[in-house]
Structure 1
Amino acid sequence: MGDDINGLHHVGHIVRDMDQAMERYRQLGFAVPAPAYPVLPAVGGGPAEPFGVANTHVHFPGNFVELVTVIDDTGRMPGEARPIPLQVPDDKLPGLMAAIRATAANITSFLQRFQGVHIMIADTPDIDSVAARLTAVGVSHGGVHNIQRPVETSTGTRMEPARYLEISDPQLPPGRVPEGRIGFAENTPVEAPQDQRHTDHPNGATGLVECVLCVADTALPELEQRYSTYFGQARDGKVTRFDRASVTVVAASALADLLPGERPAPLPAFVAYAVSVRDIAATERLLRDNDVPVTRTGPEEMFVPADAALGVAIIFRQDG
């Protein structure tokens, strides 16, 4: 179990203000491309309008951090935003609108809990195998979805196929579990490398390497059992690590040992994620030069507190 997982595909950082989030991430030393937002007619033959959510990706060679915000009723978009027209037959339009509304409603409900990371998607080379494995052990999920997503390349933005699966809690709306949205995604073999401009980060970041979930102490045994079903065998210690998925689970009472000074958000919650960097000393100099607070947790690791990173602690860890 869990042999069909290759680590993290992405985490989703839900923000209230995309302009503010892009500015903060650039201050943290990440290259952040212009966000994209879907436009489509509300009725067949009508004018195309912004709808749903806007997002952008902090790209790494094998995964990414997604910044997500909800498009409000005014349709106001960040200044750099790029419209992505969605082409859909008139008879399919109501179904697509309903699906996008459901996604936006979930994002809105997450943001009402707190601004921060609410999405964690594991990478798999065989999503059909994952779906069959979860079904066999009684895990509720929404099945494999085939979609088109915008991919930015050196020659512009193009739409490429993607496949994903979301785990569901029968007591919650579709695509939801108590800690947010978790699932699996399959990288399509036809994907071209991302534009090098967006994977060469001033802070030296080279990849997304960990996501940290904090739960109440009393909820830890149930969560460990549930995640073992999703991701395979865990490695126990003061915290529980699901190595294949690059997920760490920590009880609230132990969070201060892992991330000194951090206070749990409403639990359960994804409280941090980690990126690897080429040179931890150079990364620290850049952050301090940009007046970003950092806390050292070892000679090869430090983190930016959640208060300074829009609701999630960002860990920087020496690569290798």
Structure 2
Amino acid sequence: MDGVQKTIDAIHHTGILTRDLDGLERRYTDLGFTLSPRSRHLLSARPGELPTEGCTANRCALFGGSYLELLGIVDESAPDPWHTKAMADEYEGFRLLNLETGDIEAARGQLVAAGVHASGVLDLERDVETEDGTRTVRARAVHVDPSSTPEAMLGVAQHLTREYVHQPRYRSHPNGARGITAVLIVAVDAEAAAITERYGRILGASAVRNGARAVLEMGAGQLEIVRASDAGAVLPGEPIPAPSYLAAMTIAVDELGVARSTIEDAGVPTHGTAEGFFVSARDAYGAGLFFVEA
């Protein structure tokens, strides 16, 4: 797809959704991630609307570029403009994939040109503590219609205050994590070709085969899509929460030995792979975790 302007070209963040944020926080601390302090979301329901306090809060494992969001429903009575509770009612776990852009308006245009139904541009805010006091994180996002992408709650996001999110003091992890380098999607066989083609249009990229995986390269990171009938070869014995779903992400670390011992010393089982090791979604709140050396 040469000649396509790539305004969407990186992994912004991935997200694990739960109604048990306390437990999710404990497990990812066990997995060797340093987490940012808990922060409540201020969300807007429609373009141009002022953000208000919603039902969710998060903590994040930050890597300087991408980040891993631990997203919890913390107040069932609060507004839910982004329909998070309905998503959790379907199933909890690895549900969110946000791609990154430096120009959210252009990115929305790219989604529309790719034939994907998307929201208008929405505003997100949350207050965070910095070394200089309380600051407000601001971002702009476009959400893809979930009926268009049943495998993921897909969005595109633009940082407006990246420095308040990726604070250096939270970017040193006991497991040596450096970033999210890949996201693996399992696609029901009948829709696998269409799903691969859709992401290719969104990213302006052509898929390359790597064994059972169709790989779409971005400027930073890659998407990998595997047919459900082949998933057992890539994710043996892993849970199957839906016909098509976000199955796993790949975390690059400084030293595999350090990362593995950190995780195993916390009582979390690991499984060797050709390139590193794997933590089952059963042991990571619904997200399979591949670890490779940076």
* 1:266 Cα offset (Å): 1.3
CA contact (8 A) 1:6 1:125 kept: no
Q: Name structure 1 gaps, 5 residues minimum.
A: 41-48, 76-99
Q: Does 2:286 align with 1:314?
A: no
Q: TM-score, normalised by structure 1?
A: 0.79
Pairing of 1:161-200 with structure 2 (within 5 A): 161-168=138-145, 172=147, 177-188=149-160, 191=163, 194-200=166-172
More strand by share: 2
Amino acid corresponding to residue 312 of structure 1 in structure 2: A
CA distance in 2, matches of 1:2, 1:268: 28
Q: Can you give the 5+ residue segments of structure 2 that lack an aligned partner in the other structure?
A: 44-51
Q: Indicate the residue corresponding to 2:47 in structure 1.
A: none
C-alpha displacement of 1:215:
1.4
Give the Å deviation of 1:38: 4.8
In structure 2, the partner of 1:102 is 81
Cross-structure match for 2:8: 5
* d(CA) in 1 for partners of 2:5, 2:145: 18
Shift of 1:136: 3.0
Instruction: State the 1:207 CA deviation.
Output: 0.8
Alignment TM-score, normalising by the size of structure 2: 0.86
* Deviation (angstroms), 1:158: 1.1
- Kindly provide the CA deviation profile for residues 209-261 of structure 1, in whole angstroms up to 9, marking residues without a partner as x: 11111111111012112212212222234211111162111111222222233
The number of residue pairs the alignment matches comes to 279
Bigger radius of gyration? 1
Structure 1, residues 161-217: CA drift from partner, whole Å, max 9, x if none?
A: 312111115xx4xxx731231121122367357333311010000111111111111
Check if 1:33 corresponds to 2:8: no
- RMSD of Structure 2 on Structure 1 (CA): 2.4
Query: Hey, what's the Cα distance between the residues in 2 that align with 1:154 and 1:143?
Result: 34
Once residues 64 and 159 of structure 2 are traced to their aligned partners in structure 1, the CA distance between those partners, rounded to angstroms, is 12
1:285 aligned residue (248, 253, 261)? 261
Quick check: 2:7–2:102 contact (8 Å CA) kept in 1? yes
1:102 alignment partner, SS class = coil
State the match for 1:235 in structure 2: 208
TM-superposition CA deviations, 1:281-317 (whole Å, max 9, x none): 111111111111111111x321100111111111111
Deviations 1:53-94 (CA, angstroms, capped at 9, x unpaired): 12111111112111112134478xxxxxxxxxxxxxxxxxxx
Task: Give yes or no for contact 1:242–1:248 (8 Å, CA) kept in 2.
Answer: yes
Corresponding residue number in structure 1 for 2:250: 274
Inter-partner Cα distance in structure 1 for 2:289 and 2:13? 14
CA contact (8 A) 2:252 2:291 kept: yes
Asked whether the equivalents of residues 9 and 203 of structure 2 are also in contact (C-alpha less than 8 Å), the reply is no
Runs of 4+ with >4 A deviation: none
Aligned to 1:88: none
Choose 262-271 or 142-151, whichever is displaced more: 142-151
Aligned-residue identity in percent: 27
CA distance in 1, matches of 2:117, 2:108: 10
In structure 2, what is the Cα distance between the partners aligned to 1:182 and 1:35? 23
Give per-residue Cα distances to partners, 1:104-128, cap 9 Å, x unaligned: xx22222222221111001112222
